[in-house]
Structure formats: C-alpha cells, structure tokens
Structure 1
Amino acid sequence: MKKKFLFVGFCILIMASAFVLKNQEEKVESFLEIYDLETRKRSVVYKSDEHFEAPNWSRDGKFLVYNSKGRIYKFNFDGKPELINTGFATNCNNDHGISPDNSQLVISHHESKTGNSIIYTCPIAGGHPVAVTPVGPSYWHGWSPDGKTLAYCAERNGEFDIYSIPVNGGKETRLTIATGLDDGPDYSYDGKYIYFNSVRTGRMKIWRMKPDGSEQTQMTFDDYNDWFPHPSPDGKWLVFVSYDKNVDGHPANKYVRLRLMPLSGGKPEVLTKLFGGQGTINVPSWSPDSKRFAFVSYKLMNK
C-alpha cells in the first residue's frame, strides 16, 4: 500500500506542479475568494476567465499575491492585478509566499533546461531572483517566523520528503524519512511546529513535527485525504483542504472541502464546499488578524 501511494504521489506531484499543466485543458473561470470566520461567509473579491491559483495574504494585510500562467501577480483589492517582475523566473508554479517582514517573495520556478522546480527569493516589489535550493525538484511551502529558514517539499533519489534550508542558501536538512509522500510544510507562528501532510499511514493526513523533524505526530484521522495545512497567525486554528477518500493526489477540478480545526488538535469542522483542488489553498493565505483567509475556487466554462 505504501509503495502504491509513493508511486501515485510521485506521479501526481510531478504532473500537478509542472508548469505545462497550469494552463489546464479544461477552460475554467477563476474566483479569488475570502472566507470570514466571524460571519462564516465567503465573498468573491476578483474573478477572471484566466486560470490563477494559490493566494498569499501580505503581512500588512494590504494585498494578495497569486500565480497565473507562470507569473506572479499582486492584487490590491481594487480589481486590478499587477504583474510582479520576477526577472527570468517566468515559469512559476503555485508554491510561493511572502517573508515575515513583508520584504521578500519566495517563488518556485521551473528551470527551462531540466524542468525541475527550484526555489528563489526576490524583493516583494520585484527584482532579480536569487536561488536558494541547489537542486530540484524543490517546492516551497513555509517560511519560519524569524525569517531565517524555508521549509519545502523536494524529491531526492526518488522519494518526496520535507526539507529545510537557510533562506540565503546552504546545506539542506531532510526532516522526514517515512516511505511515501510528505508535502505542504508550514510553520506555526510561534515557530514551535511545522505542520504538513503525509500518506505514511495509508491515507493522506495532517501531521506536525518540531522544526528539527522530531516528534512527528498525526493530527487528522477520518476518511478524507487532507492536504496543505496552514496555521493561523493567532495560534488558534489550522485550515486545510480535504478531498474525498477515493481521490489520489491533489488534482484540479474536484469538489473539495475547506476544513478548520484547533491548532492543538481535535475534530475538524467543514467550513465550506467548493469546486477546486489544485491551486485552491496550496500556500499560507491567512489575513494578519486571523479573521479571514483567501482561497481560489473554479467554474468549468462551456467549451
């Protein structure tokens, strides 16, 4: 079973993260939405017939960042997305984010020669990208609260695991060694834990560990396949996306649930159901006040 999930996870991650699949064959209308925890309502702040993914909320709460067709865009809540200049990095996937001090952008860019995703940083206003990971494929997912370390999913020697690396580059540290896909690492805002998803027990579930990889503990236990956990800035909540149990990987164009649970653990609550999946909430997207989070939903358009 574990070998089966390793193979499936390997194939799904390669296919889903490859830039060529970002422009899906099925034409979709994309909706940038905000979920409000106090009102329990969702609202559309932007929509387009262009495919876009993975919103990040800026640390000052003034704008969102998302990816579309390999480029990164800034959305100022005025209905007019602005292209961020990422230099030669024009094959960016949905694994991107913003530094704790709001000064830098981290991107995962597919190299033209190898097709592998490499992690880069650049100024949040745009500029020349600087490589962080020495090899690929590497897919960014988390930035430590002190701004010093990045956590990411990477394939090394046929196995996808979670790694960390200094933000300015250097030696990467392997944090997970279990057979099967480990993905989606995101730091708690106090820096005490990294939350991630793992298929090591036969179904994709949410786990957490210390930043050094110790004390790896399963957090969800029901029949869904759970992906991309994101801790809230106030340290209270964990939001993540859940697929039905018969869905392998995190494909696009599926009906999914966004679920919420206490950060310390407990029974997850379904906040909303939507048509989405890949690109919906891959990366950190909480507002700084922890009252809202951003996500993307889709609607298939008539061919």
Structure 2
Amino acid sequence: MIEELEIRTAAGTFDALSGGAPGGREVLLLHGFPQGAIEWEFQLAALGGGGCHAVAPDQRGYSPGVRPQRAADYRLADLVGDVVAIADGLGWERFDLVGHDCGARVGWAVAAQLPARVRTFSAVSHPHPAALEQAVAEDEDQAQRSHHLTTLRRPRTAEQAMLADDAAGLRRIFEWKVPEERVEDYVRRLELPDALTGALNWYRASSVGDGIGQVEVPTLYVWSTEDATIGSTAALATQKYVSGPYRFEMLEDVSHWVPEEAPEALTRLLIRHLLAHRE
C-alpha cells in the first residue's frame, strides 16, 4: 500500500508518497522533470513489499509548500539541502538514494558530498554531471541531445510554449512512452499557477557539470539505449567519476522514461543493488 506523507522542513512542507513501514531499510527516490513522486509508484510498492521503507517526495517547485519563484532559489546547494532536510525529517541517519533524470543529478551531488549519509546510490538516465559536461563539449551527438536545455532555460517563453494548445508541448515531452493517465496527472499538476516555472527553475539555476566530484559510495547507473537526451559517450564515461563499487546496466530499446516504461526491469536492478550492499 502506498501512503501520502507530508514532510516538514525549514524550506517548507514537501508532499511525498511512501511504501512500506517505518523501520524498514530506508530508500529515498527523487523524480525527474516534468514528473513527480508518482513516477516511482511501481518501485515504491515493490520496495515497500520487500521490507524497505521507500519514500518519494515531490521536490522543490513540485510541492506547493516548497515553490519559491526565483530561479536563484533552485541552485544545486538548495536541492541537496532539501534531500538532507527530508531525510532528517524522516529520522533517517543513513539511506539508499535513487534518482531519475534531474533527480539523479541531485543524487550525484548528494552521494559525492555526503557519503556518510548515503548507503548506496542508483542513478537512472542522468550520468555523472562531469561526464555529461565533457561529452557536451567534445561529442557533437551529445551537444545536439542537450540543445533542448537552452529552450528550457528561457524565462516565460518555455512555459508559454509548453502550455499552449492545451499543454500539447508538455505532453510531447513524454514521447508517448508514459501511460496517458499518468501524463494527464503530470500536466494537471504543472498547469497550476507557478508550478511549471518552479520545475523549469531547476534548469535556469544550473550549469552542466555543477562541480560535482568523485562518488565513493556503491553506485548503480542505469542507461537506456533509446534515451533521446543522453548518448552513449556520457553514459560510458560515468565510470571514471565513481571510485567506489560501480555497476553499469544498459536497457535495450527503452526510452528516457525508464521507471514507467520498464518498471519491472528497473526494479530488479535496484533490488539487486540494494542486496549487494547491505551495510
């Protein structure tokens, strides 16, 4: 059973979904753009049923209670601070961390900066930011794949383009790979006043590499071959930035939307990673 939670922090109150009972192995899951905690529905149920206490928050900009309007309030330090505050609010001293897309970018920073707090890290889709930064600079294919970030960073015009014609642009982002009812849920949430601006501010406050260093905690990186935004150059280079135990998994014929397009395959990989690193 998945339950709704509210997690109070100094920044505001985060809405969250939870699977499993408190006292189980602590797993925190960070969603990507333009999604929300519900993208982890399958994983929350599976992990919760397997003895974990899995929690997925709607992150800064997505939770109405933590939705500042200035792009400057979405710097990486703020997003990392949110993860720490959420874990503290749950009473978790140490936890397993999972992130997809921009949630994985934050996860890379948390794992690199706070190894004492992170038991294991699992990144889905988004490679280590330094690997991506180098690929954008040196690989024409990756530069083209990352060109959409320029559009997302444009104040006001990005919101207008995505929400025009009954949010047709926002719907197209999902490439018809996510169930229609789930896409409608995401669209409904992001059509609320200031919600899409909050989500886009993640990009407006970020740079590609973000100065994130080596990761020493046990790390799983899952990349899918049909990801339109991340090519093989950055995916294969990620290993250089992990000094701890590392596992790279490639999902064939799967798009960027891994947690919802291939939930069973991803969950098997996550569980295997957790079981391999119990301490």
TM-score, scaled relative to structure 2: 0.29
More helix by share: 2
- Which one scores higher on RCO, CA 8 angstroms, separation ≥ 6? 2
